[in-house]
Chain A
């Protein structure tokens, strides 16, 4: 397998323009997996392995000669997922994968050989529970493996093993690595100090334990008491000192010394004045002689989010110089080192920005070259993406609040979407590439995201200041920034939109600021705060209620006046509510009761409940559906002009996506009016499929039935080249549904359908050629050619067996229709005989049948056979669901064959029936191939309500030449109460 990603050597100062040249952003591309998920460099910095999602999911290795990834292991099965990988040494890759069918994680190793661009490899598998603690990059072909036994998965044992030993499951005592600790959640290995670090579960909290170098016993060094507390080990300095990222003694997460003996924090090595540190890298320099060696700590880099952008500050001269070089080479971009080997001059970089989903580069600092490895999204036209601006606003109390504002590059509709994030505490928005933001901006909207108080990354005080501020300080922060942005822009409309807490906030903003907001989109939200304290029996215990209190504050009556559900009379804008039926975070009840009160109070509310969706969509199709739903709502409710700057094909796809979901009840409940609304939109944009479905809709029974409209939609769909349209136009005309189609037009329409690729039409063309019609004569030769053609050599075979079976069933139906037609004659009979003999190997000589019994029909227990249960010719739909006749094909011996298979046509005649699709019929026919001597039951079902029509029903059995061999008439009654 190959990933066709260009590999171009570039000087750092010149960049190749990336992305596709599409005229508008296709949501199918925007809401999709990146081509490259992660990359890992080998210890010698020569090879790059990747988790790739281009053309399926696979583990690959970058081929420097060809510039593309060579596939190693394919995970392109629905139930297989690559969950991790890494380099054991320079020619051995480890990978971990999940089989979701049995919920089991397994491992494998790839022994690689790359010679002059030729990749060869062997794969070995290990079906053991566990994980790699460390790949020991300094040690050839060895790993530290934490083994979980099948019998007790909570117990972990540590082994230092070669790959061979691991593959051979050599978990002998001699391979044990270090002493383990009880209740370990996870082990980490700090190579510089040769120490094991473990996160340990302890009475609902997490403790950090360390086993230093040659120490015998584990030491409990820290207990994390609160959810906002950070304690992330960076490196051990010696047996009693560690460098950590923590906010225990500082407001923001800082780089701090920690004394293991006294359990006290020491010197703060680096603290950003506003932002929490996200990562840090230090260098230990040894000085001194023999027993008096001392380690001095040098900070190499710290990482934090400055105005939502990932920022790395370097401290060592060489790194600073390199960073300047990269910043100059990639102006305006965020450059992150995502992987490096032991040779630090070669690194894998991810270069991205809010308007650039990113590209991976191989950077060689000695040669000062950055070579493109591959883009994360190759099909996005980068020139259509918009850069986010970041800004800081001072609130009335002096609090600084950062925001991210993204305006469309072109086609602005002058609508501001205020998009509060979820949480609200400990969550934040970033100025990264954001598909949802880019989607709305690509449709002309401006999007404002506010990192209001409570957001993560700005220190503990900032987080704490957001607790319990639902409908209060949080919305005040948002409103202050909205006012600032609106003052600088002339927006025609402003709408609030958000998910989870953002859904709550969207409605509260519209309630608090009715003069500003023109609509609100609230998804997966909380709308009745008191309900959070009364959700279910299992969520009434103290622990759960405390976790709720941490977010919304202690329960008080004031929560009621900050709950949109209880403020419905103050909601005076159109509202779109989106919910997941399986939402266990907010709870579906929150959205449903919000919808209920809005509907009851006469509010302008639209509602969509996704089936099998929790607290947000979990797949890309769902994301696309939701984005399209919201966009359409905004355009319609705000009366915005058509988004005709978006390619018609994209707009059609969106309308069809929405329409199909409501038509078929996929992902949500069936809703025909909504389906028709969206199909009509798609039809107006030129979608043949939408026109065809509108034709289907308007011919169905019901108050909307309009055959003229239906016929017109079919004709328009045919004009657009939608293959089923001409076929069904002709079929329905033949069935008498449409009366405005002439016989020559019938043939013309069937022919058009076949030309457009509707294979079944060939059989109907055959039927018309066999029987002839007004305006055209019989053509038995053509009829035979079409009926006897070997479809296995056509496209149908390439499609699937089901289509072939359907084609064959239709051919049998056509043959029966030919035999029962009033126009059936000797010429057409010859064709039918020939097809039956050649295609179905059926004896077509005359047979006779004997009527054995008639009445209601039942299925024998434990046998796939039916029989006449009681003899009668009066059938009551209230008592009998099946009725028919039992016949025996008379004994004959033809051409020396014993019990040959013969052909009989069954024709039922009945009062006119109209099915759910609006098709009317008073006759049906089918072909049977009983064997001579067999007893055969021919029966009619009345399972469906539309089949239960009283009157005279008759069944005829006909020979291939059209002679009636047997007949039976039934009187069907209906004794059910009206």
Chain B
């Protein structure tokens, strides 16, 4: 995990057209995608409740505290296809961590569910030191989708677009379809 020293969050004006606060899709149905849009699935595994996670890219998103409990969370939402990166993790109103280097990128592909990894967040009691890692946990993400979103899963493929390359979803699809892996 990468270790980062906390920063004081300075409230900044955000243009409402550029940044959207998102909450995870709850209902298991495929409500359709706009052209050039896909589903983005990110896991957040945190040892304390988080306030916000900022994702920037083609559009910018803020994952909000209702989806960021102190445990394993999955957040599924629609996003325009393109390149994104995790930019900032806010622990609370006062403290947060900027993830400044190039390690935090991922992409979203149109028409599919793009699993981009599980963001592991470990902070100490006073939230001044945080450790972060974007981990490939594809099989657990697929089990989550199978349990919570079976209908969506039947209409959309899942692909891995997190760090590195992985063909797990393709192999799993082959097994489910009885095809060759």
Contacts and interface: CB of A to CB of B under 8 A. Distances in A.
A520 to B, nearest CB: 19
Nearest to A534: B164
A531 interface: yes
B166 A534 contact: yes
A536 interface: yes
A589 B164 contact: no
A563 to B, nearest CB: 10
Given A531-B166, A600-B172, A538 B133 contact: yes
Given A537-B134, A538-B2, A601-B175, A592 B140 contact: yes
Contact of A596 (B103, B104, B139): B139
A589 B137 contact: yes
A139 B163 CA distance: 59
Given A568-B181, A589-B138, A589-B140, A600 B176 contact: yes
Given A534-B166, A536-B117, A600-B176, A566 B136 contact: no
A531 B103 contact: no
A540 interface: yes
Nearest to A588: B137
A74 B147 CA distance: 51
Contacts of B138: 589, 593
A640 to B, nearest CB: 32
Contacts of B168: 528, 531, 593
B171 interface: yes
B139 A592 contact: yes
Interface in B120-170: 133-140, 142-143, 162-166, 168
Contact of A535 (B103, B135, B142, B181): B135
Interface string A580-624: 000000011100110111001100000000000000000000000
Contacts of A596: 139, 142-143, 172
Interface residues of B, number: 26
Most buried by B among A531, A537, A601: A537
B140 to A, nearest CB: 6
A530 B166 CA distance: 8
A310 B48 CA distance: 48
B1 interface: yes
Contact of A593 (B117, B139, B162, B165): B139
A569 B137 CA distance: 23
Contacts of B162: 537
A540 B164 CA distance: 7
B142 to A, nearest CB: 7
Interface string A526-552: 001011011111101000000000000
A701 B140 CA distance: 31
Nearest to B168: A593
Contact of B103 (A528, A538, A601): A538
Identify whether the interface residues of A are mostly helix, strand, loop, or mixed. helix
Nearest to A601: B175
Contacts of A533: 164
A566 B169 CA distance: 12
Contacts of A534: 136, 163-166
A94 to B, nearest CB: 32
Interface string A107-142: 000000000000000000000000000000000000
A589 B133 CA distance: 14
A597 B133 contact: no
B2 A589 contact: no
B1 A538 contact: yes
Interface in A348-406: none
A535 B164 contact: yes
B135 to A, nearest CB: 4
B136 to A, nearest CB: 6
A595 B133 CA distance: 24
A291 B168 CA distance: 74
B166 A536 contact: no
Contacts of A530: 166
A537 B181 contact: no
Given A566-B181, A593-B139, A597-B171, A536 B176 contact: no
A537 B163 contact: yes
Given A531-B166, A596-B142, A536 B136 contact: yes
Most buried by B among A536, A565, A595: A536
Contacts of B2: 538
A564 to B, nearest CB: 13
A531 B136 contact: yes
A538 B172 CA distance: 25
Contact of B171 (A566, A589, A595): A566
A46 B143 CA distance: 65
B26 to A, nearest CB: 16
A55 B108 CA distance: 59
A115 to B, nearest CB: 50
Contact of A536 (B135, B140, B165): B135
Nearest to A541: B103
Contacts of B171: 565-566, 597
Contacts of B175: 568, 597, 600-601
A511 to B, nearest CB: 14
A557 to B, nearest CB: 12
A407 B173 CA distance: 45
B181 A589 contact: no
B132 to A, nearest CB: 8
Nearest to A536: B135
Contacts of B172: 596-597, 600
Nearest to B104: A537
Contacts of A592: 137, 139-140, 143
A554 to B, nearest CB: 16
A588 B72 CA distance: 14
A139 B171 CA distance: 69
A537 B133 contact: yes
Nearest to B45: A581
A543 B135 CA distance: 18
A596 B104 CA distance: 27
Nearest to A596: B139
Contacts of B137: 588-589, 592
B143 A589 contact: no
A128 to B, nearest CB: 24
A530 B164 CA distance: 10
Nearest to A545: B164
Contacts of B164: 533-535, 540
28 contacts: A534-B165, A535-B135, A536-B117, A536-B133, A536-B134, A536-B136, A536-B163, A537-B103, A537-B117, A537-B162, A538-B103, A565-B171, A566-B181, A568-B181, A569-B181, A589-B137, A589-B139, A589-B140, A592-B140, A593-B138, A595-B139, A596-B142, A597-B171, A597-B181, A600-B172, A600-B175, A600-B176, A601-B175
> 10 shortest A-B CB distances, which residue pairs?
A534-B164, A537-B163, A593-B139, A537-B134, A600-B175, A536-B135, A537-B103, A596-B139, A592-B139, A589-B137
Given A530-B166, A600-B172, 16 more contacts: A531-B168, A534-B163, A535-B136, A535-B164, A537-B134, A538-B1, A538-B133, A540-B103, A540-B163, A587-B135, A592-B137, A593-B168, A595-B139, A596-B139, A596-B142, A600-B176
